[in-house]
Amino acid sequence: MDVGMASKPSNIDVSKLKRGPIVTALIIGAFVAILNETLLNIAFPDLMIDFNIEATTVQWLSTAYMLVVGILVPITALLQQWFTTRQMFIGAMVLFLAGTIICGVAPVFGVMLLGRVIQALGTGLMLPVLMNTILIIFPPENRGAAMGMIGLVIMSAPAIGPTLSGLIVDSLDWRWLFYLIIPLAAFSIIFALIFLKNVTDLTKPKVSILSILLSSIGFGGVVYGFSRAGEHSWSDPTVIWCIVIGVVTLILFVIYQFMLKEPMLDMRTFKFPMFSLVTVLMLIMMMAMFSTMIMLPLFLQNALLMTALSAGLVMMPGGILNGLMAPISGKLFDKYGPRALIIPGLILMVISIFLFSQVKSTWGGGYVIFLHVLMMLGISMVMMPAQTTGLNQLPKRYYAHGTALMNTLTQVAGAIGTALFISIMSSGSKDYVASTGDTNPIEAMVAGLHDAFFVGFILAIIALVVSFFVKRTTSPQEDKQEGAA
């Protein structure tokens, strides 16, 4: 059996494809990759002991992962025009499986870091293929429900990851975090070999080495700079230089893309107003969301003195609800359009983050669960409907570029959000000690969290204002087809 080495799949009639098995193949792979990303963080203390390393060193397992994905995703728009759906997805999952095996048997930290980089290569290749395939095989009126199913996986995997990780680390050994993923990844490859079909047209554009270099240095510099700022400080010369070089290189990259007849990452996608608006909305919202996703585990473990497993259990109901709501939001989106979901969803986010900004060390777990559930309900009403609205406006030739841009900028927002909120929390804690003379670490941390959540609240309000300009879209191509009919 080939792995997509067949002749160029030109103008495929997607209406005759069996969509169910294709979506299932994609979802299994996505679930495995995203689950693995959230499994590892709780095991960091064990890894530090086993490999005899410091916290700043073990953090590279996350930083390197984010860095590789941030560099690779922009290039996927080009790769998807050179390789078939089957080649891209199965190749990505084979890389991910190889990385998982290396991590599971790693005798030293360096080998484990190599395994994480190979895993990240697989994840970075796979996620844009996932969204691009959904755009191709589903008409706009059914995309909401399809993207909702993807959302179910993308949202529920991080929800169960920390709790599952806590159980495994407590009862087995951290290596089982990888051993248990191996059969799932292998099953995903076999399932995709049987059911996944090629759905893209291969145009094989000219490869611009300069575009790849500029993109890699630009996005890589920004992601690494902000990631390092979160671990160290904004005054670190490495942080400053990485961000400056990254931003300057990205400006050169954008200018160069406009000069090319066949750009690697087509910036003309931003001439579609709803795609641009939704991208801005997603960036602001991702940063607001990160204020809670990063701060909450720290609050639960360091201020309320919960174990890692207990903290995971507190965050689990909100995460599961978020996942379960994604398909429902998708179907409601298809029926009522984006505004009916996005605006109420962001109102819930604003309320929940505002209440989080009133954080106190006397809070009980039940109240934290309630606020987290409220926030995750809001996020589930915004994420997939917003992405689908933006991507729906693009003509088919821009699908790969649109999904690559949205995924890349989400990675960048994640790096910026992490660094921003950790630094706000740290400076808020120091200011509290300096102004009050109270050296109680819990109260100092709560003061820092108060500042970080308040900035998240401001970002959520900005996102809410932007959401009032969102409206239902269809692509120019589809408008013409309807007119012809």
| pLDDT tens digit sequence for 309-361 | 787 788 788 878 877 887 788 788 888 888 888 999 999 999 999 998 888 88
Distance, in Å, from the CA atom of 420 to the CA atom of 236, rounded to the nearest integer, reads 14
Q: What is the C-alpha to C-alpha distance for residues 253 and 274, in angstroms, rounded to an integer? A: 23
User: Looking at residue 370, what is its pLDDT?
Assistant: 92
Give the pair of three-digit tokens for residue 323: 């996942």
Task: Give the residue among 68, 415, 419, 409 at the shortest CA–CA distance from 250.
Answer: 409
Closest C-alpha to 103, from 169, 47, 42, 34: 47
- Region 393-406: what's the mean pLDDT? 79
Helix (H, G, I), strand (E, B), or coil: what is residue 107? coil
Q: How confident is the model at residue 203 (pLDDT cuts 50, 70, 90)?
A: low
Across 257-276, average pLDDT: 82
Q: In the structure, what pLDDT confidence band is assigned to residue 232 with cuts at 50, 70 and 90?
A: low
> Which strand (E) or helix (H) includes residue 176?
helix 176-179
C-alpha distance from residue 404 to each of 74, 110, 241 (Å): 5, 30, 26
Which three-class secondary structure state does DSSP give residue 246?
Answer: helix
41-81 tens-digit pLDDT: 667 777 778 888 776 677 777 777 777 877 777 777 777 77
- Tell me 357's DSSP state: T
Angle among Cα 40, 215, 199 to the nearest 5 degrees reads 75
pTM over 0.85: no
Mean pLDDT of 361-383: 87
Question: Cα(294)–Cα(421) distance, rounded to whole angstroms?
Answer: 8
Distances (CA, A) of 105 to 29, 47, 351: 22, 13, 46
List C-alpha distances in Å: 78 to 205, 206, 404.
8, 9, 9
> CA 252 to CA 219: how far, in whole Å?
12
The torsion angles phi and psi of 303, rounded to 5 degrees, stand at -100, -45
Place of tokens 């009133």: 358
Position 3 pLDDT exceeds 70 = no
d(CA 153, CA 149): 7
Helices (H) and strands (E) in the chain, counts: 19, 0
CB atoms within 10 A of CB 64: 18
Nearest one of 83, 75, 76 to 204, comparing CA atoms = 83
pLDDT over 60 (residue 485): no
Cβ proximity of 184 and 240 under 8 Å: no
Kindly list the distances between the CA atom of residue 143 and the CA atoms of 327, 363, 467, in Å, as whole numbers in the listed order: 11, 41, 20
Alpha-carbon gap, residue 16 to 120, rounded angstroms = 34
Pick the closest to residue 39 from 171, 160, 184 (CA basis).
160
- pLDDT of 9 strictly over 60: no
pLDDT, mean over the chain: 79
Tens of pLDDT along 456-476? 899 889 989 988 988 877 666
In sequence order, what are the residues at sequence separation of 6 or more whose Cβ sits closer than 8 angstroms to the Cβ of residue 275? 269, 390, 391, 393, 394, 402
Contact 99, 116 (CB under 8 A): yes
3-state SS class at 96: helix
Alpha helices (H) in 357-473, listed in sequence order: 365-392, 399-436, 441-467
Between CA 390 and CA 397, with CA 396 as vertex, the angle to 5 degrees is: 110
Find which of 227-236, 268-277, 300-309 is predicted with most confidence, using mean pLDDT.
268-277
**pLDDT for position 291:** 65
In this prediction, residue 16 carries a pLDDT of 61
Residue 480, pLDDT above cutoff 50: no
Q: What is the DSSP string of 196-238?
A: ----S----PPP-HHHHHHHHHHHHHHHHHHHHHHHS-TT-HH
CB-CB contact of 12 with 198 (8 Å):
yes
